[in-house]
Amino acid sequence: EVQLVESGGGLVQPGGSLRLSCAASGFTFSSYEMNWVRQAPGKGLEWVSYISSSGSTIYYADSVKGRFTISRDNAKNSLYLQMNSLRAEDTAVYYCARGLTLVPWGQGTLVTVSS
């Protein structure tokens, strides 16, 4: 069964940092592009970042460019999102999603940025 499990969310103060992880199983992780998508409480979905299967190509939404870093470890079947200089508006559930069709998604991990 294809499965994605996010972890690493929590409460952090404005200006702080957090690293999210996404553990993949049930498929050949190294063959797929991966994405992070987020959803602020009561709001819609927002694409955050993309990484190619090899990690050589990376894209970010303008809202996180320069603050967030996406990476992957194909040997560990894991995707990461390093989030620095966090702001209140980064508060959201963060999902990892596989491939260009964004399927499947993990269950999400909640990041709360508040003092």
Partner 1 sequence: QSALTQPASVSGSPGQSITISCTGTSSDVGSYNLVSWYQQHPGKAPKLMIYEVSKRPSGVSNRFSGSKSGNTASLTISGLQAEDEADYYCCSYAGSSILYVFGTGTKVTVL
Q: Which residues bind partner 1 (CB under 8 A)?
A: 35, 37, 44-47, 50, 59-62, 95, 100-108
DSSP per position, the chain: --EEEEE--EEE-TT--EEEEEEEESS-GGGS-EEEEEE-TTS-EEEEEEE-SSS--EEE-TTTTTTEEEEEEGGGTEEEEEE-S--GGG-EEEEEEETTTT-SB---EEEEE--
Q: C-beta of 19: minimal distance to partner 1 in Å?
A: 21
Q: C-beta of 87: minimal distance to partner 1 in Å?
A: 19
Q: C-beta of 104: minimal distance to partner 1 in Å?
A: 8
Would you say 82 or 102 has its CB closer to partner 1?
102
